[in-house]
Structure 1
Amino acid sequence: MPRGPFAAAVAAARARGELVVQPRMGFGDPAAMRAGLTSVARARAATVGTVTLDSYTRVGDHAAVRRALADGSPLNGYPIVAHDTEATRWVLAAAHRYGMPVQVRHGSALPEEIFAALLRTGVDATEGGPVSYCLPYSRVSLRAAVDSWARCCAGYGRLRDAGVEPHLESFGGCLLGQLCPPGLLIAVTVLEGMFFRQHGLRSMSLSYAQQTSPEQDEEALAALRRLVDELLPEVDSHVVLYTYMGVYPRTRDGALKLLGAAARLAVRGRAARLIVKTPAEAYRIPTVEENVAALEHAARVAAAERPATAGVPDTGIYAEARTLIEAVLELSPDVGVAVRRAFERGYLDIPYCLHPDNAGQARGYIDAEGRLAWARAGRMPVRLDRAAGRSPEMTSDGLLTALSYVAARYDSMALSEVGAQPAVALPGRAGGG
């Protein structure tokens, strides 16, 4: 079956040598959502649109959504379950008019009603995963999330009855977004991709979030591409990079430098798509206009960059990710069961994640070279590099410093240049997620 519109658009841009840029945007009002998609479609860039769902819909509190819609209370995203199918089709028609596909982003650990709405409206692309949308964002048990996502994946395949190949993006390369060494991020997104494949999906994207070291990130993207080729060779896939998801620079110039670094990393690391952030991120949800400006900035920077031609140094990221994946797959031929057992035994352990199904023994830190490393790995089959001495235990002050490391570095770069300005902090009409 041919690619669905979303995967086809990304593949076409790759063939042209263009990086696809994508905002995070969601509005409760259908007219506002339609207008936002129109603006993104008209941006001077290769774009795909986003409909980000509201927090109530993410957790299945549809009664709260109905109350908000009835009394005119604002929502922080689009309530796709509550709005009728024709309203959502009207919203999406604005993007389709310009030939721009749309992905629905949601954050739900138990997304069956959301997937049902996707099937009703014919949306061919969404994202998440049984680990990446459970442990960081919910208190739902991992067992329940795995079972729910298995049903959702199998059900999403019914789009093929309408001649559309559905596309699912793993959020596993992001997890908590920061202070998680790359080997674990890569292992989780590949495992989620294998889970999707086991439950019938054949078109997917695998994610990675920009971290603290450009050199380490470039190696991580190379490792991710290699593992996808080895373990998911029969699926139609691409890599998506997220602009840094942690504390964002507070100066406009610092934020734009960080976004530019993400765009260059995406091109050098051969990612096909970049999730973009704006200078407003440190203060508030960005406006549509700010999202469009950020998309166009990222596209300009990407157009001036070229993929890396030389191989990247191998510091062991690929080997670590492969070891983690193999340790998980030894636990069961069913990927979902294997992942659940891996968390029970601590073979997978997300640093600083408080979910009750996470062992909580692992700790990451930023080393003297700005790279993410393991201070403690718990029971994960991970080798700790002690060549430079004992890794520090993370204190509360150290954690705050580490969380602000990227923002402080890029703000410092910006403030060292004449005329650096703080990012605009005024409240504005916005949608995000």
Structure 2
Amino acid sequence: MQLANKKLDWDEFLHIRQEVLNTWPTGREVDLAEAVAYQSGIPVSRRFAEKLAQAKQEKLTLAQPRAGVALVHEHIELLRYLQDEGGADLLPTTIDSYTRQNRYQEAQSGIEESRSVGRSMLNGFPAVNHGVAACREVTEALTVPVQVRHGTPDARLLAEITLAGGFTAYEGGGISYNIPYAKDVPLERSIRDWQYVDRLVGYYEEQGISINREPFGPLTGTLVPPCVSHSVAIIEALLAAEQGVKSITLGYGQCGNLTQDVAAVRSLEELADEYLNRFGYHNVVITTVFHQWMGGFPQDESKAFGVISWGAATAALAKATKVIVKTPHEALGIPTKEANAAGIRATKQVLNMLKDQPLPEFEDLRQEKELIKEETRSILEKLLDFGDGDIALGTVRGFQAGIIDVPFAPSRYNAGRLLPARDHQGAVRLLDFGNLPFREDIKEIHREKIKQRGQTEGRDPSFQMVIDDIYAIGKGMLVGKPR
């Protein structure tokens, strides 16, 4: 059967579901009717979609950290600390790497080893292994909404267990949790698997239970051009909406230039509304998430707080609905709960200071917004052409042709020809356009801005600029200028 952006037939879904639930013993704990009844009893104060919708209406930016450890009670202790001492508005449960690759037996070994040595030997919470009851123990122990955050090309069983377990938001998508994360997973397969996830979320919605869905915005990090991450976000929003999802949060990773970052967040929401309405998805609530710096961090904690605070300020001025918070230990490894809470407090201080300060749409900001929109539309329209009007089919064909291309991605289903670099003001531009379907006047804007940087630095634009930009923040700057 050819891939298509078409709502999954319910009987077909149920047929696939039996195979999914049999993947690991805890899958047999999931009773969909009982899970719906359980979700319906979760109070509004712990429902992700409702809290995001309220924040959007009030033009507030909510703070959410990343966190996850191997054992249930230790995970609860960590999240309670981030809630009570950090003041997190929303909480995560970051899933471990074994679970992300559906390697549940190895995740089980990690649980047992963690119990043996008395500390987490996994880099996240193995929700599939722990099962439905343990997930409910986690979500019931907290007073704010909790989201599942992971990085899984095939996240079907994880979705079944965690939604039955009381989580009210679920991150990821068939592109954003494949191309940046996996080498050998066919894009057509991951899109199909995520259609299953979205059909499950859509079923909950049909029963009056809104589960928030969030494609992963930053993709491969801090040098991803906004038009690329926007295109992926909007594709995944269209795929989710077709399956019945009504609460969608679209993400963008901080690139570092204030004007470009604010323009990106604002244009993302506007473009999403444009395309969802165009295809008849009129009752979807779109919110935005801004990811603080996803690249290398300074080792010095004081400098790291500077990076965190700049991300918080940008999120507030862009009026993103939420911000994903980093910690001052990013350069050192897994943070302590104290460092994680400190990052949240620093972020919330800045958010509170700026919440009533709008950033007017000055001319440079307006121009940047229009440029991002034109670039994104160029990609999306060509993908629709490739798919004869079907965005799912067009996406697979478009990645094959390099019409959409994620820089630095490991996937062999990605062309990998795109080469970004910063201009002299730190905005992300393109040195090599690959096969992106841009008009010549758009390409000339990129060429001219990178040329200006070269003239400022006294060197010809080259791949060395890209290398310098990757390491710049760790050295105390944004643009990787030669010494």
* TM-score strictly above 0.5: yes
Question: Where does residue 54 of structure 1 map in the other structure?
Answer: 96
2:196 corresponds to which residue? Answer: 151
Cα deviation for residue 242 of structure 1 reads: 0.1
Amino acid at match of 2:431: A
- 2:350 is the alignment partner of 1:314: no
Higher relative contact order (CA 8 A, sep 6+): 1
1:196–1:225 Cα change, 3 Å: same
- 139-148 vs 7-16, which deviates more? 7-16
User: 1:13-64, CA deviations, whole angstroms, 9 ceiling, x for partnerless residues?
Assistant: 4445532100110011100111122122224645101101000000000011
Structure 1 residue corresponding to 2:244, chosen from 200, 218, 223: 200
**More displaced 10-residue stretch of structure 1: 59-68 or 246-255:** 246-255
Letter in 2 for 1:239: T
Decide which moves more: 277-286 or 69-78: 69-78
Contact 2:235 2:391 in 1 (8 A): yes
Aligned residue runs from structure 1 range 213-232, under 5 A = 213-232=257-276
Q: Distance in 2 between matches of 1:110 and 1:69?
A: 21
The equivalent residue for 2:79 is 37
Q: Which moved more, 1:367-376 or 1:399-408?
A: 399-408
Aligned to 1:349: 405
Give the drift of 1:241. Answer: 0.2
Q: Deviations over 1:115-144 (max 9, x none)?
A: 111232132201111111101111211111
**Matches of residues 353-372 of structure 1 in structure 2 within 5 Å?**
353-372=409-428
User: For the residues of structure 2 that align with 1:80 and 1:189, how far apart are their CA atoms?
Assistant: 26
1:323 aligns with 2:382: no
Which letter maps to 2:360?
T
In 1, Cα distance between the equivalents of 2:296 and 2:314?
19
The equivalent position to 1:387 in structure 2, one of 448, 467, 479, is 448
Deviates most, 327-336 or 238-247: 327-336
Relative to structure 1, the CA distance from residue 283 to residue 116 in structure 2 (aligned partners, 3 Å threshold; closer, same or farther) is same
- Tell me the distance in 1 between the aligned counterparts of 2:245 and 2:203: 10
Q: Which amino acid aligns with 1:403?
A: I
Counterpart Cα distance in 1 of 2:328 and 2:252? 21
Report if the CA contact (8 A) 2:132-2:162 is conserved. Answer: no
**d(CA) in 1 for partners of 2:57, 2:67:** 27
Q: Deviations over 1:285-308 (max 9, x none)?
A: 111121111111101111111231
Q: Which amino acid aligns with 2:358?
A: P
Name whichever structure is richer in helix by fraction.
Answer: 2
CA distance in 2, matches of 1:92, 1:387: 52
Within 2, Cα distance between the matches of 1:44 and 1:25? 12
Which one of the candidate residues 274, 280, 287 is aligned to 2:323? 274
Residue 400 of structure 1, aligned match among 467, 471, 478: 467
Counterpart CA distance in 1 for 2:417 and 2:342 is 41
Deviation (angstroms), 1:94 = 1.1
Aligned partners of 1:52 and 1:78 also within 8 Å: yes
Distance (whole Å) between structure 2 residues aligned to residue 15 and residue 360 of structure 1 = 39
- Residue among 62, 66, 87 paired with 1:20: 62
Equivalent position SS for 1:293: helix
Out of 238, 244, 248, which is 2:287 matched to?
A: 238
| The one of 234, 237, 251 aligned to 1:190 | 234
Tell me, in whole angstroms, the C-alpha distance in 1 between the residues paired with 2:300 and 2:219: 26
Contact residue 343 and residue 357 of structure 1 kept, 8 A: yes
Q: Where in structure 2 are the equivalents of 1:72-91 lying within 5 Å?
A: 72=114, 74-91=121-138
CA distance in structure 2 between the partners assigned to 1:261 and 1:101 by the alignment: 26
Contact 1:258 1:410 in 2 (8 A): no
Native 8 Å contact 2:420 2:466 kept in 1: no
Change (3 A) 1:372 1:121: same
Select which of 201, 204, 213 maps to 1:168: 213
- Counterpart position of 1:421: none
In 2, the alpha carbon distance for the partners of 1:217 and 1:71 equals: 43
Report if the CA contact (8 A) 2:273-2:286 is conserved.
Answer: no
Count of equivalent residues? 407
Equivalent residue letter for 2:366: P
- Closer, same or farther in 2 for the Cα pair 1:310/1:250, shift >3 Å? same
Query: 2:155 aligned to 111, 124, 133, which one?
Result: 111
Aligned Cα RMSD in Å? 2.3
Q: Secondary structure at the match of 1:207?
A: strand
Where does residue 292 of structure 1 map in the other structure?
341
CA offsets, 1:239-290, max 9 Å, x none? 0000010111222222111111111111111101000001100111111121
Shift of 1:389: 7.2
1:127 to 156, 168, 171: 171
Structure 2, unpaired ranges of 5+: 1-39, 455-459
| Unaligned residue ranges in structure 1 (runs of 5+) | 413-433
Preserved contact between residue 27 and residue 75 of structure 1 (Cα < 8 Å):
yes
- Which of 41, 47, 52 matches 1:5? 47
